[in-house]
Amino acid sequence: MAQIGNDIALARSFLEKGQLVGIPTETVYGLAGNALNAESVALIFETKNRPSFDPLILHTSSLERVGEFVSDFPEKLKQLAEKFWPGPLTLLLPRKPIVPDLVTSGLDRVAVRVPNHPLTRTLLEQLDFPLAAPSANPFGYISPTQAQHVEAQLGEKIPYILDGGPCAVGLESTIVGMEGEEIVIYRLGGLEIAEIEDVVGPVKVKDHSSSNPSAPGQLDSHYAPRKPFMLGDLKTLIAEKQAEGFDFAVLSFSDAFEQIPQEKQIALSPSHDLHEAAQNLFAAMRKLDETPVAVILAELMPETGLGRAINDRLRRAAVKG
């Protein structure tokens, strides 16, 4: 089993040897390896059972260091970096040859961000290389927001997990790039669209793709529990499943249901706070997935602010191929 602790020097030693380490960020926990070492990158894909056509995100300690592995930094994207880094923003930028093809799935742009977590930023400052760090979970499953989530799923495959406590944001980063002169959001996430538009003006939001994604985290079926996950009007779904005799759990935005045992329901934010709902989403999905029920029933959030990113994750959790 993986050791859990906050020993930055130990985490660094594993990474410098080409091994993988679980790291905290403000969004979710990452499965980190040397992004410039193709063998370490291959080990990330192998450990997660992640398809090699799904690109990875590079994590570095500062805006100034990005020039080490990107060949150009368009002015509008630099404005976003200056405003929101460190933070839950990933930028797609033209890569230098130093970045292995496996990181970008052979694409000519690399996804980059500066995470906002003190332990991981200190670690990154002490490394001579950026870290490739997708979410630290088996591919397609619910993203981890606590060190214990990482240990439960990948603890037998990695030596160390840097414990930074629960993630403050709880949703993956928002991924932004450019197509011509147009700013494009490739993945909704922990940074709201309105915040981005305040800096660079109107943006285009791209639908996620089912194959050959142009950015990380675009696949249809993703962030999913093992149990069947149904989205809809909760009152209707509850009535249907009760009539059918199904044992179920409920994930709501703010409502509690008197007829359902407390241990089989979670309200993401009784105070109707979308930031709180985002922070609690993955841990709640994980907890209900471990509950002895046949199906999980859930509802969409208000389609405003972070609600759009939460709904993106909920819809993809409910996709069944």
Decide: residue 60, CB within 10 A, 0-12 exposed, 13-18 middle, 19+ buried: buried
226 a known binding residue? no
Q: Cα separation of 18 and 5, whole Å?
A: 19
168 a known binding residue? no
Please provide the distance, in angstroms rounded to a whole number, between the alpha carbons at the two ends of the chain.
Answer: 32
214 a known binding residue? no
Contact criterion met (CB below 8 Å) for 197 and 237: no
223 a known binding residue? yes
CB atoms inside a 10 Å sphere around CB 192: 20
H-helix segments, 49-201: 75-84, 101-104, 118-125, 147-154, 193-200
Token pair in block for residue 62:
């500062």
Contact criterion met (CB below 8 Å) for 63 and 82: yes
Decide: residue 74, CB within 10 A, 0-12 exposed, 13-18 middle, 19+ buried: middle
Handedness of CA 189, 193, 199, 200 (dihedral sign): positive
187 a known binding residue? yes
308 a known binding residue? no
Closest C-alpha to 275, from 193, 171, 199: 171
Q: Cα separation of 175 and 92, whole Å?
A: 7
> Within 13 Å and on the Cβ side, how many CA atoms surround 181?
1
113 a known binding residue? yes
50 a known binding residue? yes
Region of 305 (left: φ > 0; alpha: ψ -120 to 50; beta: rest) is left
284 a known binding residue? no
* Bind-site residues: 27, 50, 59, 113, 133, 135, 143, 173, 187, 223
Binding residues for L-threonine: 27, 113, 133, 173
Residue list for the binding site for ATP: 50, 59, 135, 143, 187, 223
